Every structure is written in structure tokens, then in C-alpha cells.
């Protein structure tokens, strides 16, 4: 049975002038739309009471389980406005399926993918005036999330769970635009081991990455790169982005899945690169291969990808005691730019979506 969603419009929505002013320079993740969506789960009633109401603070009991044991999962996706005014999301069923996998790992209940997509669509529809024009590659960032909302300090899966969707207009994620990143290779911290929750999109992975990110910034770097737990030799990913390495012969390597987050952008890039005739290998990729490949010129481009930042070039890898910069240190390399353009052209409806990736909301 699919969820029935009720809507109670906000009594004090932002004025059209206010919204227009925000959309001119939305930044990232600081301003939220007029409404939010909320659904409740209990063992007896399953998912029920799906409602869209005015955006506002939640009232939580101090014993709410998520505040103590971090039982939560989330997703990140965007709504794009096309030139004809229509509004679309990108592969939302993939986000829905990933939330099911993440929730399984965090012992949270399953929200059926159809219901997930309907909830996201419903909020976008109610707050459609917050979806920016395509100009400047702006979008409405969507944040579905699920958390343990039972007030109980014992350690067991929560018997009361809340799923929510909130939305926030977004400009470019990195203020510097397409300037290549300087990455810090952390040798003190890791993000996920075998049997851990590295493949789940859960706040705990981000909590554990923050100190490493601080270390990166203290060394003058933009982002941190993590290596595998077992041997400390293989490249995993950044705090919130997957990685790609482009060779001079046009072949591409990306770290295999398992302990990394299975990015939807990552998988789209594999398909796009195949379509352009590139060989793509998903395999373990040693940090020594990175250092040596860049130094010898065998690796010509390095980039990172994710929904928020799309595709971002990597210029320099720095570690305790050295650094190596590739050919594309001052600006993005040609394939990085091409793949980024191919992807955003599909997302904004400027290129044919031969993959069936786009989902029309309005």
C-alpha cells in the first residue's frame, strides 16, 4: 500500500521577492524552503502519517536515540529546472535503493523506493518556486533522511523512526569553481573497514571524517583522501566524493566498491566514459600507483565526483613529507571537463538522456 501524503501549507511562506533574492546567490545548505516532509514508522503501523507542513524546528526528547547512538541514514540529490520550465530529478530510484541498503546496515526499517520517490516529488511540487532557473548550474538540493526517533537510552534498534525530506537551493558547491583541489593524504585516520559501514550513507561516516578534514585544512589542503584500513595502501575516497584516475592512453581507473560509498555520480560516469569509448577499470588502486603515475605523466587527470560538487578536478596530492602535482594542476584536464559537461547537460536537459536517468517531477 502506498503512502498517502497530506499537505498543510505554510501560513508564512517567504515572499516571491525574498525567494528571488535567495536564488540569485543560494550558496550551499544554508537556506531552506517553506515546507518539509515527515513520515513516521512504528512496528505496529509501519510507515504512516506522511505530511508536508511548514519548515521549522523539531521538538525532540533529550533521550531521542539518534542523538546518542547515531542510528540514521541520509541521501543527497538535486532537482533541476530545464529551459522549458519543467523540473526533473536524476536517477531518484537509485537514491531510494541506496537508502534501503543503508537502512539495512543501520537496522532501520525499509521505506519502499516508490514511496521514497513520491515523498521527494511531493515536496518538490509544493516548493517548486524554489527550484532555480538552469542558469549558472543552480539546483534545489534535496536531503531525505531517516533517524531513530524513539526516546530510549537502551541499545537496540529504535521502535519509532522518522523519515524526512528537506530542500535547500544550491549554487556551486566549491566557491573556487572548477579550480583543481589540493588533497591531503591522511595516514592517521581511516573511514571504513571490512564489515563496517563505509558503503552506507550515514552521518557517522561524516562524523569520523571531520578530524581528518581538519588535518587536511591545517596543511593547506581542500579535502582529505582516505586509504584502506587493512593495508593502508589503497585509495578509497574523499570524505564525500568518489575518485577517478585518467591515463594517457584514455583508460580510466576508479576504486572498486565494498568499503566505499557507491556514488550514483560514480556509476553514471562509468556509463558515460564507456559510451565515449574509454576503458574503465574498477579495481583496487594503490596510492603508489597514483604518486608514480602522476610523476611519470602516465596519469594525466585525476578527479572526484558526487551529487553536490558534480565533477571536481584534483591538482595536487600532499602527504606528510611530500607532494606530487599532475599535468592538470592549474585547471581541469580535458576529459574531466568533458565528462562534467556531458553529465550536467543531461541533468539540465540540454543533451539527450539516452540512459533513462532523468525523472520528471513537474
Ligand X SMILES: *Cc1c(COP(=O)(O)O)cnc(C)c1O
Q: What are the residues binding ligand X (CB under 6 A)?
A: 76, 201, 205, 237, 240-242, 261, 263-266, 306-307
Our CB check for ligand X shows the closer of 47 and 348 to be 348
Our CB check for ligand X shows the closer of 19 and 287 to be 287
C-alpha cell at 23: 536564488
Our CB check for ligand X shows the closer of 131 and 311 to be 311
C-alpha cell at 74: 541520509
**What's the min distance (Å) between Cβ of 255 and ligand X?**
11
**Separation between Cα atoms, residue 186 and residue 318, nearest integer Å:** 9
**What's the min distance (Å) between Cβ of 202 and ligand X?**
8
**What's the min distance (Å) between Cβ of 153 and ligand X?**
28
Q: State whether residue 125 is helix, strand or coil.
A: helix
Our CB check for ligand X shows the closer of 14 and 92 to be 92
CB 35 within 8 A of CB 54: yes
Our CB check for ligand X shows the closer of 118 and 201 to be 201
**What's the min distance (Å) between Cβ of 288 and ligand X?**
23
**Separation between Cα atoms, residue 51 and residue 6, nearest integer Å:** 5
**What's the min distance (Å) between Cβ of 310 and ligand X?**
9
Our CB check for ligand X shows the closer of 77 and 134 to be 77
Q: What is the DSSP string of 71-93?
A: -EEE--EEEEE-TTS-EEEESHH
DSSP 8-state symbol, 239: S
**What's the min distance (Å) between Cβ of 347 and ligand X?**
12
Nearest alpha carbon to residue 216 among 114, 318, 303: 318
The residues, ordered by sequence, that sit 6+ positions from 214 with a Cβ below 8 Å of its Cβ are none
CB 103 within 8 A of CB 202: no
Q: Is the dihedral of CA 322, 327, 330, 332 positive or negative?
A: negative
Amino acid at each position: 500500500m502506498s503512502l498517502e501524503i497530506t499537505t498543510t501549507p505554510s501560513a508564512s511562506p517567504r515572499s516571491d521577492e525574498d525567494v528571488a533574492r535567495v536564488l540569485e546567490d543560494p550558496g550551499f545548505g544554508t537556506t531552506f524552503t517553506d515546507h518539509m516532509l515527515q513520515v513516521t514508522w512504528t512496528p505496529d503501523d509501519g510507515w504512516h502519517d506522511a505530511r508536508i507542513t511548514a519548515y521549522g524546528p523539531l521538538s525532540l526528547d533529550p533521550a531521542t536515540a539518534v542523538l546518542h547512538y547515531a542510528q540514521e541514514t541520509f541521501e543527497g540529490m538535486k532537482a533541476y529546472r530545464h529551459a522549458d520550465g519543467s523540473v526533473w530529478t536524476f536517477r531518484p530510484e537509485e537514491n531510494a535503493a541506496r537508502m534501503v541498503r543503508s537502512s539495512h546496515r543501520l537496522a532501520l526499517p525499509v521505506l519502499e523506493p516508490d514511496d521514497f520517490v513520491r515523498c521527494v516529488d511531493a515536496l518538490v511540487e509544493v516548493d517548486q518556486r524554489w527550484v532555480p532557473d538552469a542558469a549558472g548550474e543552480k539546483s534545489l538540493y534535496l536531503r531525505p533522511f531517516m533517524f531513530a526517533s524513539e526516546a530510549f537510552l537502551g541499545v537496540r534498534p529504535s521502535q519509532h523512526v522518522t523519515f524526512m525530506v528537506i530542500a535547500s537551493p544550491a549554487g556551486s558547491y566549491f566557491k573556487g569553481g572548477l579550480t583543481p583541489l589540493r588533497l591531503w593524504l591522511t595516514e592517521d585516520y581511516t573511514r571504513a573497514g571490512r564489515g563496517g559501514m563505509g558503503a552506507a550513507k550515514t552521518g557517522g561516516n561524516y562524523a569520523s571524517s571531520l578530524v581528518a578534514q581538519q588535518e587536511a585544512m591545517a596543511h593547506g589542503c581542500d579535502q582529505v583522501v582516505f586509504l584502506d584500513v587493512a593495508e593502508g595502501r589503497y585509495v578509497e575516497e574523499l570524505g564525500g566524493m568518489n575518485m577517478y584516475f585518467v591515463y594517457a592512453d584514455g583508460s580510466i581507473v576508479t576504486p572498486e566498491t565494498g568499503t566505499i560509498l557507491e556514488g550514483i555520480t560514480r556509476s553514471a560516469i562509468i556509463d558515460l566514459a564507456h559510451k565515449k569509448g574509454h576503458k574503465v577499470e574498477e579495481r583496487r588502486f594503490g596510492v603508489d600507483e597514483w604518486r608514480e603515475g602522476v610523476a611519470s605523466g602516465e596519469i594525466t587527470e585525476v578527479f572526484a565526483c558526487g551529487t553536490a560538487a558534480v565533477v571536481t578536478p584534483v591538482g595536487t596530492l600532499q602527504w606528510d613529507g611530500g607532494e606530487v602535482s599532475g599535468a592538470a594542476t592549474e585547471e581541469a584536464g580535458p576529459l574531466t571537463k568533458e565528462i562534467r559537461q556531458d553529465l550536467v547537460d543531461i541533468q539540465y536537459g540540454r543533451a539527450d538522456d539516452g540512459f533513462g536517468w532523468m525523472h520528471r517531477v513537474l
